[in-house]
Amino acid sequence: MAKSVADRFSSDPEAIRLFQQDRLIVDVTELICKAMNENGLKKAELAAALGTTRGYISQCLNGEKNLTLKTVSDILATLGLRMKVSAEPIETSSRTTLPCRRRP
């Protein structure tokens, strides 16, 4: 029987790694957008508070910029928040463990 797309995806370590990157970006940017909405803060106001441009904030929230932990911390602090980090196992059909990659 042929594997489904989901099965093929969940057994490919590279696909899992890339999906988890995108998932984290979406989670963080949605958290920031929600906090901005709850505080009635516009992108231009957040940018001014951070000493940057509205365009830069837009790029960060659209996933066009690689947000560093420092940038996320600065944005959240401006919104009166701090990040709490936790980790949980990745659910895959094959229980694949991704190898650690070292950067050159």
Q: What is the CATH number of the domain that holds 73?
A: 1.10.260
CA 33 to chain centre: 12
Statement: residue 45 has pLDDT above 70: yes
What is the tally of structural domains in the chain?
1
Residue 1 lies in a domain: no
Residue 19 lies in a domain: yes
Q: Does 75 or 104 have the greater pLDDT score?
A: 75
Residue 99 lies in a domain: no
Residue 87 lies in a domain: no
**Domain limits at 19?**
11-78
Position 12 scores a pLDDT of 82
Section 62-77 average pLDDT? 94
Position 90 scores a pLDDT of 84
Spatial contact of 76 and 35, defined as CB atoms under 8 Å apart: yes
Position 70 scores a pLDDT of 96
Residue 101 lies in a domain: no
- Note the helical H segments in 11-102: 13-38, 43-50, 54-61, 69-78
Statement: residue 67 has pLDDT above 90: yes
Query: In sequence order, what are the residues at sequence separation of 6 or more whose Cβ sits closer than 8 angstroms to the Cβ of residue 46?
Result: 36, 57, 75, 78, 79
**d(C-alpha 104, C-alpha 101), whole Å:** 9
Q: Does 55 or 104 have the greater pLDDT score?
A: 55
